[in-house]
Amino acid sequence: MDDSFELSSIASALKLHGVNIVGEVSKGSSAIAVQRTLHPNILLIDMHYSDEHSIAIARDLRLEDPAIGIVILVPCADLRLLGEVHSELPESSMVVLKNSITTIAALCDVLTQSRLVVKEAPPIWINGNLALSGKVSESMMSKLTNIQIETLRLLADGLTNAEIGRIRFVSEKAVEQIVSRISQVLNVQPDRTKNMRVQLVREYFRWIGAPRH
């Protein structure tokens, strides 16, 4: 976790529940260093909008230790919103919808389950007290296409239609049409008193669990 307050808070809470925390880090490179020196049994990682890719970090640690349990906290079911790819999740990893875990005891249960690494087993999605199959988790995903997701993320980065068009090698008019389609799928209605782009970006940040101001 790269939020120092959240990192220390969760670590302290887990310690109170008997979990032996051998390392607390905020970067992937530090996680690799901790693994090589302290050999943890479980990796708990917080996935969010970041320059670092949580799945890549998890896969690197799994390569270092094939038996390590992996628990990934996610803010939403559609990992594309965070620039991640569902199919790249490590086998046997536990993917937890963050807002569904209401107690540290529940998180501890997931941590315990994560140690049962089964080769070639698909990731398990955890929504509250429910373990979801891959097909069920896919049904929770947005109806947006990959192109629409990519465009929405670029909007959230503050890019204009012209800038997005240059990045995606399409015309500005094509970008306008994609943005219009996104608004239809998300049922964001045109309103002369509100900027459509601002409304779409607000929806995006709401989905990924970012604070709204």
Side-chain-side CA neighbours of 129 within 13 Å: the count stands at 2
Q: Could you tell me if 15 and 70 lie in one domain?
A: yes
Lowest mean pLDDT among 148-152, 187-191, 193-197: 187-191
Q: Is 97 helix (H, G, I), strand (E, B) or coil?
A: strand
> For 53-108, how does the pLDDT look when each residue is reduced to its tens digit (9 = 90+)?
999 999 999 999 999 999 999 988 888 888 898 899 999 999 998 888 889 999 99
How many folded domains does the chain comprise? 2
Give the number of residues written for the chain. Answer: 213
Q: Could you tell me if 153 and 50 lie in one domain?
A: no
Measured between its terminal Cα atoms, the distance across the chain in Å is: 22
Range of the domain at 77: 4-139
CATH of the domain at 155: 1.10.10.10
Rounded CA separation 93/68 (Å): 9
Q: Could you tell me if 152 and 62 lie in one domain?
A: no
Kindly report the pTM of this predicted structure: 0.81
Rounded CA separation 108/133 (Å): 21
Single-letter amino acid, residue 159: L
Tokens for 168?
């995606």
> For 12-43, how does the pLDDT look when each residue is reduced to its tens digit (9 = 90+)?
999 999 999 999 998 888 999 999 999 999 99
Tell me, yes or no, whether 37 lies in a domain. yes
Residue that terminates a domain, selected from 86, 112, 139: 139
CB 20 within 8 A of CB 26: no
What pLDDT does 141 receive?
Answer: 46
